């Protein structure tokens, strides 16, 4: 059977969004799930999301929230909202779940493509890629045609041929000789003004990348946030997709 990959990132403990994306991916004939990091953080169901990711058996790399929620490091440099949720999430995880997160690699090549949460040049510095200059620094370390990442929660394609260009999310086939650095967007906390979950399907047989948006029960996720006592700002972000 031909393989079709669902590439998911920045699930951020949003169980409602995660389940909706899994259902959509399966309806599209996906055979494999892979994860570009940040399974936890920001939302109310970190343990459940970890267990689902593990059950799906997909390759996963470590995001910054995965790292800080599974390491006992100081949080003075974090924004207060992020720091408070990380501290809360640490208390929700079992030792086994924390160990699993902490042992995830920062980057990995699987099935012929690369996964990283932020960038390959400095994966442990959690740099954000918003412009061509940031993408160019990353491309110097990318050895595969495709590299999928997350971290900014904004879906976008950076393509390098003779130069680096930015391509808006679309359904497209890769071009021989080009390299692609693809931000798959966020399942659990989109930040591009669209509250629907974002993920990518990759079909290696025909070398096609497809961005998909999936509606989910945002209000149910918001209610869980409030019941958990998490910051109200997070509820507003979910509702607005920002």
Please, what is the end-to-end C-alpha distance for the chain in angstroms? Answer: 39
SS3 track for 55-110: HHCCCECCCHHHHHHHCCCCCCCCCHHHHHHHHHHHHHCCHHHHHHHHCCCCEEEE
**Residue 1 in this model has a pLDDT that exceeds 80:** no
**Residue 78 in this model has a pLDDT that exceeds 80:** no
CATH number, domain containing residue 114 = 3.60.21.10
Return the structure tokens found at 147. 């590299």
- pLDDT tens digits, 182-193: 999 999 999 999
Contact 191, 233 (CB under 8 A): no
Residue 152: which domain range? 5-240
**Residue 68 in this model has a pLDDT that exceeds 80:** yes
Nearest-10 crossing angle of helices 46-56, 95-102:
60
SS3 track for the chain: CCCCEEEECCCCCCHHHHHHHHHHHHHCCCCEEEECCCCCCCCCCHHHHHHHHHHHCCCECCCHHHHHHHCCCCCCCCCHHHHHHHHHHHHHCCHHHHHHHHCCCCEEEECCEEEECCCCCCCCCCCCCCCHHHHHHHHCCCCCCEEEECCCCCCEEEEECCCEEEECCCEEECCCCCEEEEECCCCCCCCCCCCCEEEEEEECCCCEEEEEEECCCHHHHHHHHHHCCCCHHHHHHHHHCC
pLDDT-derived band at 74 (thresholds 50, 70, 90) equals confident
- pLDDT tens digits, 120-138: 999 999 999 999 999 999 9
Kindly report the average pLDDT of the chain as a whole number: 95
Q: pLDDT value at position 76?
A: 73
- pLDDT tens digits, 132-170: 999 999 999 999 999 999 999 999 999 999 899 999 999
Return the structure tokens found at 139. 């491309």
In the chain, how many domains are there? 1
pTM: 0.95
Q: What percent of the chain is predicted at pLDDT more than 90?
A: 92
Q: What is the mean pLDDT of residues 221-226?
A: 96
């Amino acid at each position: 059977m031909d393989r079709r990959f669902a590439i998911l990132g920045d699930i951020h403990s949003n169980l409602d969004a995660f389940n909706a994306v899994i259902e959509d991916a399966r309806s599209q004939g996906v055979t494999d799930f892979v994860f570009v990091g940040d399974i936890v953080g920001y939302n109310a169901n970190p343990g459940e999301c970890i267990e689902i990711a593990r059950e799906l058996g997909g390759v996963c790399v470590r995001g910054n929230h995965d790292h800080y929620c599974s390491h006992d490091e100081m949080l003075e440099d974090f924004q207060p909202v992020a720091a408070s949720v990380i501290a809360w999430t640490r208390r929700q995880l079992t030792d086994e779940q924390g160990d699993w997160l902490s042992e995830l690699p920062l980057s990995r090549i699987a099935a012929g493509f690369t996964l990283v949460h932020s960038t390959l040049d400095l994966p442990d510095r959690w740099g954000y890629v918003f412009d061509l200059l940031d993408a160019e620094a990353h491309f110097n370390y990318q050895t595969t045609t495709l590299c999928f990442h997350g971290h900014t929660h904004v879906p976008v394609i950076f393509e390098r041929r003779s130069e680096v260009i930015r391509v808006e999310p679309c359904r497209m086939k890769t071009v021989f000789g080009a390299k692609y650095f693809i931000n798959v967007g966020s399942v659990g906390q989109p930040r591009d003004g669209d509250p629907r979950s974002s993920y990518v399907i990759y079909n290696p047989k025909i070398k096609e990348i497809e961005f998909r948006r999936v509606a989910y029960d945002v209000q149910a996720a918001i209610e869980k946030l409030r019941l958990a006592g998490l910051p109200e700002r997070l509820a507003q972000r979910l509702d607005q997709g920002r």
